[in-house]
């Protein structure tokens, strides 16, 4: 086992076994839900407690499992503990050159600290600030300074076949996002129909010459099938667009990860300088900003308390990994996963989490992450006592709320049920893995904690079963004691498996 992984595998102390309380009707109903034949052979854990940790229900709560994006509960809470809700990221432009009128005899340094919210418009604003200072010619190079983090771009055991897609983008201290979801390190490839029989039209957002598009896509007859596919060649920024799009059909948009986001950010900034009348004569290079360099422009991000909303609602993987490296930089002086993972786990200790766990990354993409429902419930209980809890609680996805920055990955789930609006929880999805952990306000007026994590699911829509659990918890204490309906034709959807059950809906831009 590598030293890097050992850094994330920590013994936090012995966890005492928890015994279920005598809530016989609720327990019987939950037992019936978990007896779904579709879960046969799966590893399913469910823990329900009060806010102060009193057990309500427990099944296999001690079993460590792959959490998928439930890992973001740990990363987000740890970041608030370590970095603080007011933490911001800064991006600066500086120089050590001498000015002679409009000519800068020297180069420019573009320095990042991991800001995932940098848009092309923000690089344009930095360039405008440089132009307003009177500089028109830069005789030296444009140096991209991404040294705040290390140069390890991809996480431990991330799947190679996910590499071209934005939810598996590369991590850099200097990056750019194409939209206000803040999908750092990616571009949007848009494919529009032309006339029937003609080539499809392809553009990128933001427009950039950092990527190259090879377009063989055609426009089919009106009403024909859309077979558009976008891929990226490994080790390059060549994007291939193939297939057919129907004439008169809607634009197809694919969010794609760039290769080497540092160069992407620098390319956007260089283009912006050119638009504002500033010519950089030297090449684009990489290096550290010298001590004592004069700052010419600065941009500061939104605080972490606000970033939690797109991070948790939309399950943004890159935000999680940037936060892990930022915790390492803040606590150990190294912006790396190796430095950040122990800091993350130490923060979990302070939040009351006990027992062994493994955090190989911050997002849950890694198949080497291991945490139990008991530990997730402990984390949720510990967070409830923190001064930042109120904003964190509201940043969690909320069941059945249609606004995507309110409902997030739960916006299309549990609508019109007792759980709608009262379940605040983090989803998690990988192939064969699903999780739902958070808080539920019951009909009796109590707030409970719950964590359900399922591994090794095959051919079953385990999310529908998670929803039944959450709905049943929300109904507890209502005027009529609910009972789990017998299985019948109306519940066949529990076994209807589609792409949504294999990948976070937000990663497909479907919620």
Catalytic positions, please? 69, 72, 315
Buried b (16+ CB within 10 A) or exposed e, 406-432: bbbbbbbbbeebbbbbbbbbbbbbbeb
Partnered with residue 58 across adjacent β-strands are 47
Both structure tokens of 449? 């904690």
Query: In whole angstroms, what is the distance from residue 155 CA to residue 428 CA?
Result: 18
**122: helix, strand or coil:** helix
Total count of residues recorded for the chain? 511
The CA-atom distances, in angstroms, between 249 and each of 194, 200, 219, 256 are: 10, 11, 9, 22
E strand or H helix that includes residue 376: helix 373-383
Planar angle of CA 80, 81, 86, nearest 5 degrees: 45
Query: Helices then strands (H, E): number in the chain?
Result: 11, 24
**Neighbouring C-beta atoms of residue 60, cutoff 10 Å:** 16
Query: In whole angstroms, what is the distance from residue 291 CA to residue 285 CA?
Result: 18
Q: Which of 24, 63, 71, 69 is nearest to 47 (CA)?
A: 63
The strand pair at 294-300 and 90-95 is best described as: antiparallel
């Amino acid at each position: 086992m590598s030293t890097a992984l050992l850094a994330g595998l920590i013994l936090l102390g012995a966890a005492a076994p928890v015994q279920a309380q005598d809530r016989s009707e609720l327990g019987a109903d939950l037992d019936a839900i978990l007896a779904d034949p579709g879960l046969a052979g799966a590893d399913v854990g469910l823990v329900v407690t009060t806010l102060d940790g009193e057990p309500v229900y427990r099944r296999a709560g001690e079993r460590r499992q792959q959490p998928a994006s439930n890992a973001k509960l740990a990363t987000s809470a740890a970041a608030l503990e370590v970095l603080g809700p007011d933490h911001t990221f800064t991006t600066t432009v500086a120089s050590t050159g001498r000015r002679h009128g409009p000519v800068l005899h020297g180069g420019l340094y573009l320095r990042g600290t991991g800001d995932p919210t940098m848009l092309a418009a923000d690089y344009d604003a930095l360039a405008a600030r440089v132009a307003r200072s009177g500089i028109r010619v830069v005789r030296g190079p444009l140096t991209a300074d991404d040294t705040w983090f290390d140069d390890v771009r991809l996480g431990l055991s991330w799947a190679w076949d996910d590499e071209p897609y934005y939810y598996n983008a590369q991590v850099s201290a200097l990056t750019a996002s194409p939209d206000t979801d803040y999908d750092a390190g990616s571009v949007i490839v848009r494919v529009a129909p032309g006339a029937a029989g003609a080539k499809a039209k392809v553009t990128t957002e933001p427009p950039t010459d950092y990527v190259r598009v090879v377009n063989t896509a055609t426009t089919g007859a009106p009403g024909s099938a859309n077979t558009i596919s976008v891929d990226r060649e490994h080790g390059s920024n060549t994007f291939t667009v193939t297939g057919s799009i129907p004439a008169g059909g809607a634009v197809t948009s694919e969010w794609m990860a760039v290769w080497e986001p540092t160069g992407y950010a620098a390319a956007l900034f260089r283009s912006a300088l050119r638009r504002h009348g500033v010519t950089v004569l030297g090449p684009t290079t990489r290096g550290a900003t010298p001590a004592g360099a004069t700052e010419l422009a600065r941009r500061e991000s939104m605080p972490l308390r606000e970033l939690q909303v797109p991070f948790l609602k939309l399950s943004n993987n890159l935000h999680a990994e940037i936060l892990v490296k930022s915790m390492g930089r803040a606590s150990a002086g190294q912006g790396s996963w190796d430095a950040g993972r122990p800091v993350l786990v130490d923060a979990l200790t302070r939040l009351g989490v006990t027992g062994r766990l493994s955090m190989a990354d911050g997002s849950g993409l890694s198949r080497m992450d291991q945490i139990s429902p008991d530990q997730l419930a402990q984390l949720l209980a510990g967070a409830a006592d923190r001064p930042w809890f109120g904003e964190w609680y509201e940043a969690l996805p909320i069941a059945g709320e249609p606004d995507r920055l309110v409902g997030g990955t739960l916006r299309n789930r549990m609508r019109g049920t007792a759980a709608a609006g009262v379940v605040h929880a983090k989803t998690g999805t990988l192939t064969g893995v699903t999780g739902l952990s958070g808080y539920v306000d019951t009909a009796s007026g109590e707030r409970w904690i719950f964590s359900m994590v399922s591994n090794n699911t095959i051919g079953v829509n385990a999310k529908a079963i998670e929803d039944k659990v959450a709905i049943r918890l929300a109904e507890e204490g209502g005027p009529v004691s609910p009972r789990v309906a017998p299985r019948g034709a109306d519940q066949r959807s529990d076994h209807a498996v589609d792409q949504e059950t294999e990948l976070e809906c937000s990663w497909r831009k479907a919620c």
